[in-house]
Amino acid sequence: MNNNIIPLHMVPIGSFALVRGLIADGSSRRRMLDLGLIRDTEVKSLRRSPSGDPVAYQIRGAVIALRSEEASKILVEVI
């Protein structure tokens, strides 16, 4: 595995990343694909909620909030 590949929940706020893969399966995987999280999709980490979870991400022009549990299944490369 490439050392630059990390789970989405580890991307610093304000940073951009490219989706490199999903480790989810079943309905969770289908939901992520439906949100547009396919290979080479650019994602920006926007802001963290006051409690720290969930985090808002900009994905294909939409702002989506994902919990750390969900975001940990999305592998990205920070750019």
Q: Give the domains, in start order, of the chain with CATH numbers.
A: 5-78 (2.30.30.90)
pLDDT of residue 42: 96
Q: What is the pTM of this model?
A: 0.88
Summary mean pLDDT of the chain: 92
Count other Cβ atoms within 10 Å, centred on residue 75.
18
In sequence order, the β-bridge partners of residue 58 are 44, 63
* Helix, coil or strand: residue 16: strand
Name the band, by pLDDT with cuts 50, 70 and 90, for residue 52. Answer: confident
3-43 residue pLDDT tens: 689 999 999 999 999 999 999 889 999 999 998 999 999 99
Give the C-alpha separation, 36 to 13, whole Å.
20
CA 69/CA 20 separation, integer angstroms:
18
